[in-house]
Chain A
Amino acid sequence: MSADTGEVLLRLAGARVSYGPVGVLDGLELEVRRGEFVALVGPSGCGKTTLLNLASGWLRPQAGTVETRGRVRMVFQQDGLFPWRTVAENVLLGLRHVAPGPERTRRAAALLELVSLSSFAGHYPHQLSGGMRQRVELVRALAGDTDLLLMDEPFSSLDYLTRLRMRAELARLLREQPRTVVLVTHDIEEAAQLADRVLVLSDRPAHIRDEVRLAVPRPRQATDPAVVGAVHRILTELGLEGEARETAADA
């Protein structure tokens, strides 16, 4: 999966978005190729989510172009599962383009098996824990040969340990069902552990301050030296690492 040779699935060229006088994106350039996992990190309110909304087609840029190819789906930070449908029915929704019949049922069952939730097929989302719901949401988005997955802080509402588990789960799912992913996250460690490229965005209007490439193949441990090194570089770029050290020295 060489990052520079695959077909371009997402291209933002000179995309500009502003809400009134507030410029959120001002001519941002971004290309994501098939098979890549790109993470976007940056300060709160810098326009990361706006970027995903452009990519999903929910928002149109005021200037510039946004091109996507293939089937695009978003995984949301809040609950995106339909609470009136069971776990299995939610996953089946992800397979809507597959003709109804034994093939669709089989694939839905296989997806639930993939996240070890087969015994919860008949449960409703409110009967599951947050982590379980997020796993269902992940496979619903994966279902049906999605080309590009857009993830908007998908694990931010989970506790730390569950979040670590979900990272491993996502890495494993992507090994079994490779997809192109754009992940927006506040969690720099998460970005460095999961992505091939981490784009560090600036304050509004967002531009790309730094691009950190991780050469070590996925999946990686959170404590992999390459991950730790990338975290250090990103924190420094955001002006957080230096300060933290000084504070520690003062104490």
Chain B
Amino acid sequence: MNEPTRSHRGPWLALIGPAALILAWGALASLHLFPPSLFPHPLDVARGLVAEVRSGRLLDDVIASLFRVMVGFLLAVGLGVPAGLLLGRSLAARQAFLPIVNFFRSLSPLAWIPFAILWLGIGDPPAIFLIFMAAVFPMILSTCAAVANIPSVYFRVARDLGIEGTELLREVTLPAIAPQVITALRVTAGLSWLVVVAAEMIAGRDGLGFAVWDARNGLRIDLLAASMVVIGLIGVGLDRLLVRLSRIPSVRWGYER
């Protein structure tokens, strides 16, 4: 209910931070405290960005990265949520499998890069594999914790009302964990976006991570910074997109009490 009363100046206020940052960056670059070959000027970066957009290379890289993130992330969600549901329902299953899940969750997905290349070569498959490895374990753990913490009163009410079987899953279990799963989706999508850059830097021939690496190798620090700006902006955009899920009326309760 209590929608925060945003002032109409809100959107303009949100520009103050970035504007100040860019101005400070420009001022610092203009002072030439660092060699221009190591510290790009924002105007050069903007020019580089425009050139990359015009050549179509940037769009190709964005599409390549987003595709990998989408496939790896969806695989992780598709496997992680059902696995979490199973683990969350059974104490025995948790005792048997949670140590493994925790082990892989604690293992940096970047440590898989050598194996990913050895097994899958270069291109989409290793990147998708790495994103999957980064996202699936947190997804399992969050779902499992959410299921295990559903208040038993909901199941008792369901029993009184004669809700059972797959209907119980649809009417009680899934809606009861939805707010926590949505939060987990945001976290793991962010994680996937971090990992795709690293994966493409080492095991890619295109994508934004490769663009970063390629710009560095070509000593084009303007393009290097431009790629970084794009990566950050898309990451924020992804989160903005997913945060909309938490505005669905039937999950609001999970964030408001």
Closest to B154 in A: A82
* Distance between A123 CB and nearest chain B CB, rounded to angstroms: 8
For the complex, give the distance between the alpha carbons of A228 and B2 in Å: 44
**Which of these binds chain A: B48-56, B118-126, B182-190, B249-257?**
B249-257
CB <8 Å contact, B175 and A82: yes
- Let me know if A154 is at the binding interface, CB within 8 A: no
For the complex, give the distance between the alpha carbons of A80 and B162 in Å: 15
CB <8 Å contact, B253 and A56: no
Contact with B along A49-75 (1 / 0, CB 8 A): 000000011100000000000001110
Residues of B within 8 A of A82 (CB): 154, 157, 171-172, 175
- Which one of B161, B171, B176 has the greatest number of beta carbons of chain A within 10 Å? B161
Residues of A within 8 A of B163 (CB): 93, 96
Question: Which B residues fall within an 8 A CB radius of A?
Answer: 1, 151, 153-154, 156-157, 159-163, 171-172, 175-176, 178, 249-254, 256-257
Closest to B179 in A: A84
For the complex, give the distance between the alpha carbons of A125 and B154 in Å: 14
* Distance between A127 CB and nearest chain B CB, rounded to angstroms: 5
Question: Which A residues fall within an 8 A CB radius of B?
Answer: 56-58, 72-74, 76, 78-80, 82-85, 93-94, 96-97, 124-127, 141
Query: How many A-B pairs with Cβ below 8 Å?
Result: 56
Residues of A within 8 A of B250 (CB): 84-85, 124
For the complex, give the distance between the alpha carbons of A72 and B157 in Å: 11
Q: Please pick, from A78, A83, A93, the residue contacting B161 in the complex, using a CB distance under 8 A.
A: A93
* Distance between A198 CB and nearest chain B CB, rounded to angstroms: 25
Q: Please pick, from A73, A79, A126, the residue contacting B160 in the complex, using a CB distance under 8 A.
A: A73
* Distance between B61 CB and nearest chain A CB, rounded to angstroms: 40
CB <8 Å contact, A76 and B157: yes
CB <8 Å contact, B251 and A78: no
Known: A84-B178, A84-B253. A74 touches B161 (CB 8 A): no
* CB pairs A–B below 8 angstroms (10 shown): A76-B157, A80-B154, A93-B161, A93-B163, A94-B161, A96-B161, A126-B1, A126-B253, A126-B257, A127-B1
Residues of B within 8 A of A73 (CB): 160-161
* Distance between A82 CB and nearest chain B CB, rounded to angstroms: 7
Q: Please pick, from B156, B162, B175, B257, the residue contacting A96 in the complex, using a CB distance under 8 A.
A: B162
Q: Please pick, from B154, B172, B178, B253, the residue contacting A124 in the complex, using a CB distance under 8 A.
A: B253
CB <8 Å contact, B162 and A97: yes
CB <8 Å contact, B176 and A72: no
The 5 closest A-B pairs by CB, nearest first: A83-B253, A84-B175, A84-B250, A126-B253, A73-B160
Q: Please pick, from B156, B171, B176, B254, the residue contacting A76 in the complex, using a CB distance under 8 A.
A: B156
CB <8 Å contact, B160 and A56: yes
Known: A73-B160, A124-B253. A80 touches B153 (CB 8 A): yes
Residues of B within 8 A of A74 (CB): 156-157, 160
Closest to A77 in B: B153
For the complex, give the distance between the alpha carbons of A57 and B154 in Å: 15
CB <8 Å contact, A58 and B159: yes
* Distance between B147 CB and nearest chain A CB, rounded to angstroms: 15
For the complex, give the distance between the alpha carbons of A173 and B79 in Å: 49
Residues of B within 8 A of A78 (CB): 151, 153
For the complex, give the distance between the alpha carbons of A57 and B251 in Å: 31
For the complex, give the distance between the alpha carbons of A49 and B49 in Å: 69
For the complex, give the distance between the alpha carbons of A127 and B156 in Å: 23
* Distance between B30 CB and nearest chain A CB, rounded to angstroms: 53
* Distance between B104 CB and nearest chain A CB, rounded to angstroms: 31
Closest to A141 in B: B160
CB <8 Å contact, B162 and A76: no
For the complex, give the distance between the alpha carbons of A56 and B156 in Å: 9
